[in-house]
Every structure is written in structure tokens, then in C-alpha cells.
Amino acid sequence: MVALQAVGPLVVWLPDGSVRKGVFVDWNHELHASLVWLGQAFAISLIALGVTFSALGRFTGWGRQFLQITSAYFNPSRSKLPLLWLALIVLMTLFGVRLNVLFSFWYNGFYSAMQSLDAQAFWFMLLVFATLATIHVGRSLLNLYLQEAFLIRWRVWLTHALVERWLAKQAYYRSQFVAESADNPDQRIQQDVETFVGKSLVLSMGLLDAAVSLFAFTIILWNLSGVLDLFGWEIPRAMVFMVYLYVVVATVFALKVGRPLIRLNFLNEQFNANFRYALVRLREYGESIAFYRGEAVERANLLARFANVIANAWAVVFRSLKFQGFNLAISQAAVVFPFIVQAPRLLSKQITLGDVMQTSQSFGQVEGALSFFRSSYDSFASYRAVINRLSGFLDSMESAEQLISAQIKAGSHQLVVQSLSVRTPSGSPLVDDLTLSLEKSASLLIRGKSGIGKTTLLRGVAGLWPYVDGKIVRPLGEQSLFLPQKPYLPLGTLRSALYYPASVQTDDQAAAVLIQCQLAHLVGRLDDEAEWARTLSLGEQQRLAIGRVLLNRPQLVFLDEASSAMDEGLEYAMYHLLRQSMPDAILVSVGHRSSLLDFHTQELELLGAGQWRLHELH
């Protein structure tokens, strides 16, 4: 066999003397042809993607969830950059498909040149390969940068959006009162967001690559296919029909085998998050557990949660064995299938070795494109689980935002409560029709039996408790400060914990306040970073919270048993300090000790079943 190769398509003389022109490309003009192809494919792909995402968002539940999570990011009125960046990634994906098409023709030309023993054609095809390989490497690196940069920007935006919404309107607290509260919001913001943006891009671009490859290589396979004689039946273009039938049957069985993976992946995320949360709580309450010697209970709790993780992991393993085993069997059969079909035509000298190799490569591309959903089903299953978790998180925050609260209006140096009623979630009254008024320098002590609703009343006044009616006028924002029984100490320096929630100042005022609060031994550690909630005793933490009041100087201070860990002498000193340093501030305290009566002008006693009694002290 001899091959004549000028710069252009191969012409092959077969051993029987016949001449065959192969299905080759004209490499001299391929640059222009590829640019035209890219332009047409790019325009069609953008339209198809837009229609597809619109249809998914309108007719499928998970499509609506996707739009709920991220439609604002791609809204051109916010910024056109995400859409432009995505368009570049689409272009790079199409460029990759075009290179695969060109490589398939290179396979044909290269192996035909070897079959015809044409040295000139052989070296020319090696030059073509070097050019294509160089372009392929450059495209791959550029595509990698575009995708990674896009994912980072998308993740930053989505994380900021979720954090902002989680903190806005105190959804991080109020979401516990909704019917279906989202578990482990930390995991949803940190881990699920990263998985969501990554798999959204991988699956969407994989689908685009599969669709375009299917179209391009089906045409190639159509031109390479011949008639197949099967049990007396002649099937024209048999290769094309057989690959489609082959993959469709395989996909139907794969979907049936792999469908349970969606639920199993969702449970995997949930069980792991629950186990991690239990470990965090063990560390957080380590001292209390050690005092109680509760290791046996904690061990049983941890192992029970871990057992759920492992049981689900085994379920995933056994289901994946079935799914992956089926996929591997189908993939291995696909390797030899095109050679079996084309072998009679090669042996009868109807086609060249290059045709067989291009057939094999094109068959693999078509089979891979048609099998995209089958091979990606595991990834899609975990992706659906992530979408469900993020969508559930957004639904939970939306429900929390819609919870009612008391009507709170701004008022300077006053606390006015009008017809305030506070109930339990089941509707039982805690406080019924409370009305009171506190002016500048006034103070109120709320007393009552444990569990009668004193702290819940403060939550209602703060706007945190949703089961409440009435009107409240009080200072808002930084002019009101609530001190719980166990103060919150943020991560960072002691100085930042002292100024919280205000911005940190670097003057000497913090040191002076520590001395006033009888925490002089901590002055030298103001700028040390430590886990202060574990380093300081509860009494020290409560005195640090008093220091916050002195630094922030609000008009209204709520103290919910904020001195319970202090002895009576320290408690007296701290209240005396507050009154001396902030004589105009309004104080509202919750406490049991009668010694607190000396620092308050009124007492509100909760009697139970919504009843209450208010009277003057001084």
C-alpha cells in the first residue's frame, strides 16, 4: 500500500489497486474552519444553556432550588462580570471539543500514513500533532484558571450572601423557632457552598461538552459507518444506531441501580455533621462533663451518632459497588465493541486502519457523551443533596424572618412597654398585658420562681422571642446592651472581648476598666489571644461583661442574672460601679437575691399563668 501525501487530505491506494479518499481535514485551512465552527457553536450553546436553565427553573423542583440559591449572582443588573466570565468558560469548553474532533482526524491520518508506509505523510502528521498538543496544553491551562477564578468569586459571593442573611434580622437565633429548622448551618455555609459551586460548574460544563461532542462525533461516526449484516438483516450506518442503543439500555439500568444514592448522600452529610457537632459540644463543655464524670454517657452518645455514619457508609459502599460495577462492565465492553463491528470491513479492505482507529475514538466520544448522565449520576446524587441542604437553609432563614415580634420603636432614655403579652410556643401565657414605663436613671428588678418566664420576657423586649404581642419604645442599636448569665466572649484578644460588640480602641481606657471591675491581674494580657471563654472563670467573665457596659455606655442595660457567679460583695461592688459611672442609664435586672433590691427603683414580680405585680421600691 502506497500513500500520496501533499499538504492536504490523504489519498490511499489499497492493495487491490483501488483508490480511496479518506475522511480527512484540510489542515491548511483548518484554522478558518475551526473559528467558524467555534463561533456557530458558541452562539447556539449560549442560547441552549439559557433555554435549558430557564426550563429547569420553571419545571423542576431542584431547578427552582438552584435559582433560589444563586440567581442573584447571575443577575446582570447586579454585575455583568459573572455572565461574561461564564461565557469565556463555555467558549473554552467548546474549544476543547473542537480539539478532540481534530485529534480524531489526526488519528485517521496518522494511522493511514503508517499503513501506507508514507514517510512524508507520517512526519507531516507528527507536525500536526505537535501543533495540536501545544494548543491543547495552552487551552487546558487557560481553562483551569478561568474555572478556578470563577469558582472562587462565586463562592465568595454566595458565602457573603448566606452569612449576611444568617446574621440579618437575627435569623441565626430565631430560626430555632421555625417548624423545620436547618441543622448544622456552619456546615452548610462552609462545606456545602464549596461543593455547590464546584459541582454546578463541573456538571453544567460536562453536560455542554457531552451535548456538543455527541453532535460532532455522531456526524463523524455516521460517515465512517457502513452496512452491518446481522442475522440476514442489513443495517445501514449500523455503528451509529448500535452505540445509541447500547448507551440508552445501559443508562436505564444504571439509573435504576443508582437512584438510592441521592438519599444516601444526603444522609451522609447529615450524619457526619451531627457527629461533628457532638464532638464540638464535648470540647466546649469538657469541664462540666469532667465534674459530672459523664464520660460513659458521652461515649454512648458519640458512638451512637458515629454508628449512624458507619451504617450509612456501608449502605453507600454496597450501592456504589452495584452502580460502579455496572458502569465498569459497560465501559470495558465499549472498548472492543467498535473494533468488532468494523473488523469485517477492514479485513475486506473496504476501510483503512486509520478509519478503524478514528471509529474507535469517535465511538468512545459518542459513548462517553451519551453516558454522561449515567457516569455522573453519583456526583449528581451528592449535588442534589447539597442543593436540598442549601435550599432548606434558605427556607429556614426565610421562615425565621417572617416570625412576628413585638412592635419596637426607638426612644431616647426611656423604656415604655404597652400591653405586652408573652407566650410559650404552645400558647401558654407567661406575661399577660404588661404595661410599664421607665425614664432616665430608673431601674427595674424582675423576680419570680425559676422557669416562670423572666428571661423569656427579656427576649420579648429585645425582639428575639416570636410568641409575643404588644408595643415597646426603647433605645435601639448600640444604645441598648443585654448581658446574659453566661457572657459571650469572641475569638481574639482580651481587648476585643472587652469592647465587644463595639470596635476596638487602643487607648488606656480598657486597662482602667479592668481595674475598676477588679480584674487588674488581666491588664497585662489585654492584647493576648486566647480562648477566653475557657480561660476565665464565670465570675471573671461576668465582671468583664460589666466592663463592656462601662466602655459602650448604653442608655439601657438588661442584666439577666449577670452577677449570679459573683459573691454578694462583688455583686454589690459591680452594681455600685454601674450606678456611679452611669447615673443616667436605665437598668433592668433579672435576679433572685434580695440584695439587688437596693439598686432598683421598681420591682416586677412574675406570679405565673400570665399574672404579674409591679410596685415601687424607693
Span 158-185, pLDDT tens digits: 999 999 999 988 888 888 888 877 777 8
Which of the two residues, 521 and 241, has the higher pLDDT score?
521
Residue 525 to residue 518: CA distance in whole angstroms: 14
Q: What is the pLDDT of residue 339?
A: 81
Q: How distant, in Å, are the alpha carbons of 244, 493, 523 from that of 527?
A: 69, 5, 9
Report how many domains make up the chain: 2
Among 378, 401, 424, the domain boundary falls at 401
If asked whether residues 515 and 580 sit together in one domain, one would say: yes
Q: What percent of the chain has pLDDT over 70?
A: 94
Sheet holding 468-474, edge to edge: 407-410, 468-474, 414-423, 429-439
SS3 581: helix
Span 583-610, pLDDT tens digits: 999 999 998 888 888 899 999 999 999 9
| 517 Cβ contact list (under 8 Å, min separation 6) | 543, 544, 546, 547, 550, 574, 577
Predicted confidence band of residue 230 (pLDDT cuts 50, 70, 90): low
Q: What is the CATH number of the domain that holds 172?
A: 1.20.1560.10
Mean pLDDT of the chain: 87
Among 373, 401, 429, the domain boundary falls at 401
Residue 269 to residue 219: CA distance in whole angstroms: 43
If asked whether residues 469 and 385 sit together in one domain, one would say: no
> Do residues 562 and 588 lie in contact, with contact meaning Cβ atoms separated by under 8 Å?
no
If asked whether residues 437 and 486 sit together in one domain, one would say: yes
Bridge partners of residue 19, in order along the sequence: 13
The total number of residues written for the chain in this structure: 618
| 375 Cβ contact list (under 8 Å, min separation 6) | 327, 368
Residue 156 to residue 392: CA distance in whole angstroms: 20
If asked whether residues 266 and 213 sit together in one domain, one would say: yes
If asked whether residues 457 and 370 sit together in one domain, one would say: no
In sign, the C-alpha dihedral spanning 400, 405, 410, 411 is negative
If asked whether residues 470 and 604 sit together in one domain, one would say: yes
Among 368, 385, 401, the domain boundary falls at 401
pTM: 0.78
If asked whether residues 393 and 467 sit together in one domain, one would say: no
| 61 Cβ contact list (under 8 Å, min separation 6) | none
If asked whether residues 382 and 430 sit together in one domain, one would say: no
Long-range (24+ apart) CB contacts under 8 A made by 536-539 are: 536/489, 537/565, 538/486, 538/565, 539/565, 539/566, 539/570
Buried b / exposed e along 566-579 (16+ C-beta atoms within 10 A):
beeebbbbbbebbe
Q: What is the pLDDT of residue 21?
A: 44
Q: Which helix (H) or strand (E) holds 410?
A: strand 407-410
Most confident of 248-252, 265-269, 454-458: 454-458
Residue 546 to residue 24: CA distance in whole angstroms: 84
Residue 455 to residue 601: CA distance in whole angstroms: 20
If asked whether residues 361 and 388 sit together in one domain, one would say: yes
Helix axes 81-115, 193-224, angle to 10 degrees: 40
If asked whether residues 20 and 138 sit together in one domain, one would say: yes
Span 416-462, pLDDT tens digits: 999 999 999 888 999 999 999 999 999 999 999 988 999 999 999 98
If asked whether residues 393 and 411 sit together in one domain, one would say: no
Q: Is the pLDDT of residue 24 over 60?
A: no
586-590 and 443-447 beta bridge pairing: parallel
Q: How many CB atoms lie within 10 A of CB 415?
A: 22
If asked whether residues 437 and 309 sit together in one domain, one would say: no
Strand (E) positions, 289-386? none
Predicted confidence band of residue 371 (pLDDT cuts 50, 70, 90): confident
| Domain hosting residue 458, numbered range | 407-616
Residue 489 to residue 497: CA distance in whole angstroms: 5
